[in-house]
Amino acid sequence: MDNRAEIRDFLTSRRGKITPSQAGLPDFGSRRRVSGLRREEVAMLAGVSVDYYTRLERGNLSGVSDSVLEALARALQLDDAERIHLLDLARTANATISTVRGRRRTSASLRPGVQQVLDSMTMSPAYVRNGRLDILGVNALGRAVFSPLFAGPPNLARFIFLDAAAQEFYLDWEELAGDVVALLRAEAGRDPYDKKLSDLVGELSTRSEVFRSWWAVHNVRLHATGVKRLHHPEVGDLTLGYESMELTADTGLRLNAYHASPGSPEFDALRLLASWTAPEHAR
């Protein structure tokens, strides 16, 4: 992926989202030619010259200091995910291809110890994914809860955008689909030289008009905790909380674990599914 184009499009899109009133600047209404901030307004808010900001927005973050990046993040009112994305784009702009690839050498497979941890979580559906949203490992309850996803090679992005079953399975499909695009966009900022990621984005852009249009928006998002609403083919509707945790010993991998409150209908449904997947039931 083209780092300069990524920087240009990201900064331009963020500038377009901030109105003068949101930035504490006077708004001259119909006299403005843009709905968001002008370049000179962003430059003023960030404390840099217009020429310097113009250079940044054209995709040149080479040699930019952390203090300037932080000032730019404040001027554009970036949230945590957007700020991290900007820093990732800057690091890539200031590194060689080999340095970026070495820094982001994502673990290609799951260590046996991690799989053992997954297997020990008998009442929490759980799986481990990489930044491309490939599922590298799952426990028995996770496979049972997310059974439609495992009908083929499990990749969350392909399932959500290319499998018609996804819209029936995920009750909040549109929200989740937006999260998936944002997660892939953030991953592209961290590792723009990942060919498998580029191939995945190309495939989804070609086969899904929705993905293609949302990819162009350049949204990024953190995905650490929240709630998922599912329609399971066997036990019906489930509302599950989830926690997403980085595996610090395995670069680029995250463990997603889901939970339900004891005594709730969801907990009873998980207990039923767990009984179906227990080894003694399999025998």
Note whether 164 and 212 are same-domain residues: yes
Q: pLDDT digit string (tens) for 255-271? A: 999 999 999 999 999 99
pTM exceeds 0.85? yes
Cα–Cα distance, 230 to 107 (Å, whole number): 29
Note whether 132 and 254 are same-domain residues: yes
Q: How many CA atoms lie within 13 A of 94 on its CB side?
A: 12
Q: What CATH number is given to the structural domain containing 17?
A: 1.10.260.40
Does residue 195 belong to any structural domain of this protein? yes
Note whether 150 and 276 are same-domain residues: yes
Task: Please report the beta strands in the chain, taking only residues with DSSP state E, as ranges in sequence order.
Answer: 126-129, 135-138, 225-232, 236-246, 254-259
Domain end point (choices 94, 126, 147): 94
Q: How many CA atoms lie within 13 A of 152 on its CB side?
A: 10
Q: Is the pLDDT of residue 101 over 70?
A: no
- Residue-number span of the structural domain to which 29 is assigned: 3-94
Question: What DSSP letter does each residue of 155-198 carry, written as one string?
Answer: BHHHHHHH-THHHHHBTTHHHHHHHHHHHHHHHHHH-TT-HHHH
Do 57 and 13 contact (CB within 8 A), yes or no? no
Note whether 152 and 264 are same-domain residues: yes
Q: pLDDT digit string (tens) for 215-253? A: 999 999 988 899 999 999 999 999 999 999 999 999 889
Domain end point (choices 48, 66, 94): 94
Q: Is the pLDDT of residue 105 over 70?
A: no
Total domains in the fold of the chain: 2
